[in-house]
Every structure is written in structure tokens, then in C-alpha cells.
Amino acid sequence: MGISMDHATIEKYAAPVPRYTSYPTAPHFSDAVDNQKYSEWVSALGEGDRLSLYVHIPFCDRLCWFCGCNTKQTLKYAPVKAYMKRVHKEIEMIARLVKPGATVTAVHLGGGSPTLLEPDDLDMLGKKMRSAFNFAKDAEISIEIDPSDVTPEKIEGMVAFGMTRASIGVQDFSEKVQEAINRPQSYEVTRDVVYALRDAGIKSVNLDVLYGLPFQTEERLLTRPCRCGQTA
């Protein structure tokens, strides 16, 4: 069922807004929340509380020109390796503040490109988190995936990490759009990764797509044939 919106509603929400992936959003950051205040909030968590953990991997082997995430390009693995040591220390710091009885029910690895992580480092991260926190047996564990970084060994590593949901970056399959945003990624590469994840037992897979990119048109989105032979 479609949702009808009047012109005033469309105008109200048409303005640029902050990224919603953090709370409070960036314009509301202030010095009023310092290390002490943050520690007090985390220390209040305990018996019966549900925790969601987010691990940010701020590295990519190429930069998409539309992206507003906190990341940087690297063609060397050494900076990633060094960063993961810092992540381990932060896990220890946070775990010391959380009282026993709190349970992790969700984990999300985002970036950047979490699929830059080598399987050994992903394994160490998983062991570090599980030794520091109490995980629910049915915890949802999601990982953002750049298909161009994926290998069979990395899929095995993500499954061993406990991944239950794969979030695959697509944006747009048009070569013209991909060239404009510096995101070359064929339909076939993406398809093969989805099939490989399914074969590995991952039941929940979502695709991230964007509208409003250069050279996108309503006409192309409505009439472009799918590989399946039906109209998209």
C-alpha cells in the first residue's frame, strides 16, 4: 500500500539532515559529554540490560566519492593491524565499566570496509569480544560487506565470527553511475558473493542501494530489465 504525502510534508523533510547512524547526531555533540559522563552512563549498565556493540573499521582500499563515513584509503595492511590493537584495548576498557549481568544481543561491524580484515584478525576480534562480554545465544551479528574484498577464506572467517546477517554494499549497478562515484562493482561479482554467503549458511542478506547519485533517473530505475528477465 502506498503512502500519500502532501507537498508541505515533502518540503519539510527535503532538507539535508545529519547522518542517523549515531545518537545523538553530530550537530548535538558537545563538551558537556566528556569521558567522565560517558563512563557514568556505561557503568549504569548491568543486570538485565541488553547491549548492542558497534565496531568501526575506518579503512578502505578505495574511496567511494559519495561516502560521508569516517574512513581513509590504505593499500597497506599495517595501519589496519595497528588499529585493531587499539580496538582490543577499548573493548577491555568498556568491559571493565559494564556490570555483570548485561547481555550483548547485537553486534555490527561497519566502516569503512570491515571485509578488509584478514580472517585471523577477525577471529581475534571475536574472541576478544566474547571473553569481555556476555553474549546471548541468539545475538544478531551483522557485517558490512564490500564484495570486491571478499574471498572464500574471508567468508569462512565471517561465519566463524558468528555472522548472522550480511549487509552488502551495492549503491547502483549502472556502470556509468559506478564510474561517477568511483565504485566499480559488477552485478556478477555481487551475485557470486550473495550465492557464496547463502551456501555458507547465512540466511539474512540485505543489499544497500542509494538514490540521488549522479546519472540516476527515474526512467532508468523503472524500466531497466533485471537479469531475471523481468522489469525492475
For residues 34-43, give the mean pLDDT.
Answer: 91
Q: What is the pLDDT of residues 207-228, one digit of tens each?
A: 998 888 999 988 887 776 555 4
Q: What is the pLDDT of residues 59-110, one digit of tens each?
A: 999 999 988 888 999 999 999 999 999 999 999 999 999 998 999 999 999 9
Q: What is the pLDDT of residues 171-215, one digit of tens each?
A: 999 999 999 999 999 999 999 999 999 999 999 999 998 888 999
What is the number of other CB atoms lying within 10 angstroms of the CB of residue 87? Answer: 17
Inside any domain, residue 173: yes
The count of structural domains within the chain is 1
The enclosing domain of 110 has a CATH number of 3.20.20.70
How far apart CA 24 and CA 39 sit, in angstroms, is 16
How far apart CA 158 and CA 21 sit, in angstroms, is 23
- Which 3 state secondary structure label does DSSP give 110? strand
Inside any domain, residue 89: yes
Domain span at 206: 34-223
Inside any domain, residue 199: yes
Inside any domain, residue 128: yes
Inside any domain, residue 17: no
Inside any domain, residue 44: yes
**In 98-182, which residue ranges form alpha helices assigned H by DSSP?**
119-132, 152-161, 175-181
pTM: 0.84
Inside any domain, residue 10: no
Inside any domain, residue 22: no
Distance of CA 172 to the CA centre of its chain: 17
